[in-house]
Structure 1
Amino acid sequence: MKKSSLLTGLAALAALISLSSCGKKDDNTLYLFNWTYYTPDSVLQDFEKEYNCKVKVDTFDSNEVMYAKLKAGADGYDITFPSQDYTSIMIKQGMLKKIDHAAFTNASNINPKVLEKLTFDPNMDYSVPYYMGAAGICVNKQKVHNYGKSWTIFEREDLKGHMTMMDDMREVMGDALALKGYSVNTVDRKVLGNITDYINQKWKPNLVKFDAEGFGKSFANEDFWVCQGYAEVVYGEVPEERQEEMIDFFIPSEGGPMYVDSMVILKNAKHYDLAMKFINFIHRPEEYVKFLDEFRFPGFVNPAAEHLRTTTPMYKAEEMETCELKLDVGEDLETFNEYWESIRFSAD
């Protein structure tokens, strides 16, 4: 489930040349191309049993890897799970089949508030939301006291040397944009320049580093006291018996970037009917709740499942209502990258 956009040259090359050989015949097998550890085995087993089929899963760890592999010619997959910006790109490029709404009888379980955010496909013509989430701030409440639930916590010089933010330009710059009252998808160069100055002057001097991978372990070891990132990364490292006393995770009131991962059926899918059955199956509340309980995610996408859960989510779904989807900004992504380089490599 890691959303890292940092790919090594070898990984990128492997993605381009490693083509799937699955799905060469109609073998009553559904082929998924999914984020790592993103669908509980119990759900897959339930589906196999009910429909007397097999489900095979290949995994990816970033949208970039998924997209590159498909564009390189891998055509054996039926369903993949892109985030909103790549869903939008794949729709525009004609890479997807339409959703059969006659077969999607559980469509009513999808939260209308999620669909309102999906301006590129609000009627689920090509995509069905799987999960909506957002990064926020984890605070070690045993070490840090009297703090506001705001992105301005990174301005605190008394916490210098104990804070980190993700190595992700759209997340960090999006946080600053939201704090200053702008859209996280702003591409105006003057605004981005001002945001860059703010980050360099007010946030970066207090950070240990930008870290998209290891901050969970460092938080658990109490090296980092304040981390911007995904809750599951920290909760996954802190022992369960210490979580309540140690972790305060929140999404600041100013909002920030968010994401929606969706299920889409690929243009060359060989098992379309089975794929539609799977999409419909996932959104049965009694199945979707298994996903929520296993990962302790909030059930904003499927409220009916949220009511069935037996675990406490890592954060409240309502906290995301002030967040905004990171959308595909096209060629302006290079503008973000230009300013991000001046943040990543500027002197403190």
Structure 2
Amino acid sequence: MKRFIKFTWGFLVCILLVLSTACTGKSAGSEKLYLYNWTYYTPDELVAKFEKETGIDVIIDNFASNEEMFAKVMAGGNKGYDILFPSSDYTQIMIKLGLLSELDHEKLPNLSYISPLIREKATYDPDFSYSVPYFMGSSGIAVNTQRVDGAYERSWAIFSDARFAGRMSLLDDMREVMGAALKHLGFEGNTTDKEQLALAAKLINEEWKPNIVKFDSESFGKAFSRGEFVVVHAYPENVFAELPRETWSSIDFFIPEEGGMMYIDNMVIPSSAKNKDNAHTFINFIHDPKNYALFLDAFGFPPTTNTGAQQYMSNKDFFFSVEDLANSDNIQDLGAELEIYNQLWQTIRYEQ
């Protein structure tokens, strides 16, 4: 998850209370569970509910990228954690390296609520032997319809539209941008075919790049809200978090019909975990539909992952649906073949 998640003052207050050993008010001898999750990706309300129901104290550390998390794991810094939250490509790497514990499905009855589409897309661990999906989402395209004259193509071809030159941005992310071009050309988003990749790079360099202001994965949401960009390659939560709700109806966010690059963030138990029973309890708790609805409502996420949650959700307005992800490809670990992408990305990102 390279996604920006809006946080609440309650989260900050809880962090301060944790530092003062008073967040839960439980004794120092109570059971523990140590999480290493993306920043602002664990709702306060859900943690408090879990602690109240189980008597287990939850201690959370945060990371900002898969790379940061993985570097700490490889340096041996994960030995104190019971659950990690890697995206699918890094989950795949960690499975290959033997870094994860095999899950006991008898302790995870709520796996029955995992959506069929995730079961289809999770080729990195198809039986969920080592991982349980936390959330499935996707990037897409946001258009400010109030600043667009006439019709536009609701596909990746919009970045070839010279009418929007100087008013668009693409994510500063190799796999996202290359994947979008590959999908637009009718190829698989994780391909390692050199000819297909060369065609994708050509499309980006010759048709998309001349029209964009910049590659931007950090400030595009704010820039879009200020009117600097009219069209952005985006994660929807970044865009809508920066806009008043009354303006949302003027924003057309879509995942192109040809598909794009999606992500699945997972819960995994490292082989070095000391509280594996508590970890199973937490994972199963998360996928109780009523609990998962709290998670989705906390961030305005659509019910893409858990089939039982929607009926308990307060939020009914979603940026995209699970059906919108049908043609998208989940980012996979490409191993040594990733170097092909790296070489082409240099020509896209740094050459004039």
**TM-score greater than 0.5 by the shorter chain:** yes
| Counterpart selection for 1:48 from 47, 51, 54 | 51
2:254 maps to 250
Distance 1:102 1:343 in 2: 48
Matching of residues 199-238 of structure 1 within 5 Å: 199-238=204-243
Distance 1:131 1:261 in 2: 5
Contact kept, 8 Å, 1:129 with 1:301, in 2: the verdict is yes
What whole-Å deviation, never above 9, does each CA across 1:131-177 have from its counterpart, x for those lacking one? 00110000001012411210000011011000000000100010000
Contact kept, 8 Å, 1:138 with 1:229, in 2: the verdict is yes
Pairs aligned (count): 326
Counterpart code for 2:261: P
Secondary structure of the corresponding residue to residue 278 of structure 1:
helix
1:2 maps to 2
What whole-Å deviation, never above 9, does each CA across 1:117-139 have from its counterpart, x for those lacking one? 11121111100011001100000
| Counterpart selection for 2:187 from 182, 190, 206 | 182
Aligned-residue offset at 1:294 = 1.4
Matching of residues 119-134 of structure 1 within 5 Å: 119-134=123-138
What whole-Å deviation, never above 9, does each CA across 1:232-259 have from its counterpart, x for those lacking one? 0111111222222x31110000101111
Secondary structure of the corresponding residue to residue 278 of structure 2:
helix
Secondary structure of the corresponding residue to residue 128 of structure 1:
strand
1:160 maps to 165
Aligned-residue offset at 1:308 = 2.0
1:21 maps to none
Secondary structure of the corresponding residue to residue 248 of structure 1:
strand
Secondary structure of the corresponding residue to residue 303 of structure 1:
coil
Counterpart code for 2:189: V
Structure 1 residue 276 corresponds to structure 2 residue 285 = no
What whole-Å deviation, never above 9, does each CA across 1:205-240 have from its counterpart, x for those lacking one? 000000010000000001100000100011111122
1:299 maps to 303
Distance 2:60 2:102 in 1: 22
Distance 2:117 2:226 in 1: 38
Distance 2:119 2:189 in 1: 18
What whole-Å deviation, never above 9, does each CA across 1:16-41 have from its counterpart, x for those lacking one? xxxxxxxxx98511000001111211
2:21 maps to none
1:89 maps to 93
Counterpart code for 2:91: T
| Counterpart selection for 2:202 from 197, 201, 224 | 197
1:337 maps to 342
Structure 1 residue 143 corresponds to structure 2 residue 147 = yes
1:35 maps to 38
Unaligned runs of 5+ in 1: 5-24
Unaligned runs of 5+ in 2: 5-27
Structure 1 residue 58 corresponds to structure 2 residue 80 = no
Q: How much is the aligned-residue C-alpha RMSD, in angstroms?
A: 1.4
Distance 2:346 2:3 in 1: 19
Distance 2:197 2:127 in 1: 32
Secondary structure of the corresponding residue to residue 258 of structure 1:
strand
Contact kept, 8 Å, 2:136 with 2:265, in 1: the verdict is yes
Secondary structure of the corresponding residue to residue 307 of structure 1:
helix
2:245 maps to 240
Contact kept, 8 Å, 1:26 with 1:271, in 2: the verdict is no
Distance 1:313 1:76 in 2: 37
| Counterpart selection for 1:110 from 114, 124, 130 | 114
Aligned-residue offset at 1:70 = 1.0
Secondary structure of the corresponding residue to residue 109 of structure 2:
coil
Counterpart code for 1:36: T
Distance 2:336 2:30 in 1: 41
Aligned-residue offset at 1:187 = 1.0
Secondary structure of the corresponding residue to residue 249 of structure 1:
strand
2:177 maps to 172
Secondary structure of the corresponding residue to residue 322 of structure 1:
coil
What whole-Å deviation, never above 9, does each CA across 1:13-64 have from its counterpart, x for those lacking one? xxxxxxxxxxxx9851100000111121101000000111210110011100
Aligned-residue offset at 1:113 = 2.0
Contact kept, 8 Å, 1:26 with 1:270, in 2: the verdict is no
Aligned-residue offset at 1:190 = 1.6
Contact kept, 8 Å, 1:165 with 1:207, in 2: the verdict is yes
Aligned-residue offset at 1:3 = 5.0
Contact kept, 8 Å, 1:189 with 1:335, in 2: the verdict is yes
Distance 1:336 1:290 in 2: 38
Structure 1 residue 346 corresponds to structure 2 residue 351 = yes
Q: Provide TM-score, normalisation by structure 1.
A: 0.91
